[in-house]
């Protein structure tokens, strides 16, 4: 088995233009986005290992916030997840796998989590 390093950012809330119903197509929808990224892992992390040996967690958060275009309507939340995956793969060649979980907050009635989880591997 190969070693890997998993970085995670959970429960980022973001409003995104997404949806297929008429009431969804003009207003941003609130989403809760969680991201896990698997990276190639060095043999060892010494106490003085620089950040360049890993990845900045904020890169994951940015992929779910500022990297999402505010003026693009994503018909499906799956397209939002793909955009996040593409952003993370293109930003760092060490990224081997990206997992994105999106919960559509507007359709929750009793606090349940309704949404998708997408897993993409570098090809």
Q: Which pTM was predicted?
A: 0.91
The partner residues of 13 in beta bridges, in order of sequence, read 32
Domains recognised in the chain with CATH numbers: 4-121 (3.30.1130.10)
- H or E element that contains 59: helix 57-64
- Please report the sign of the dihedral spanned by the C-alpha atoms of residue 37, residue 43, residue 46, residue 50: negative
From first to last of its 123 residues, the chain has per-residue pLDDT tens of 788 899 999 999 999 999 887 666 678 999 999 999 999 888 889 999 988 888 889 999 999 999 999 899 999 999 999 999 999 999 899 999 999 999 999 888 888 999 999 999 998
């Amino acid at each position: 088995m190969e070693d890997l390093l998993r970085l995670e950012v959970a429960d980022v809330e973001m409003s995104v233009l997404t949806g297929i119903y008429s009431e969804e197509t003009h207003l941003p929808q609130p989403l809760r986005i969680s991201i896990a990224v698997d990276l190639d892992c060095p043999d060892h992390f010494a106490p003085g290992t620089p950040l360049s040996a890993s990845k900045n967690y904020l890169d994951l958060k940015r992929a779910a916030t500022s990297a999402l275009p505010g003026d693009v309507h994503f018909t499906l939340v799956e397209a939002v997840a793909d955009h996040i995956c593409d952003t993370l793969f293109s930003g760092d060649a060490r990224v081997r796998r990206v997992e994105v979980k999106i919960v559509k907050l507007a359709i929750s009635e009793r606090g349940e989590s309704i949404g998708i989880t997408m897993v993409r591997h570098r090809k």
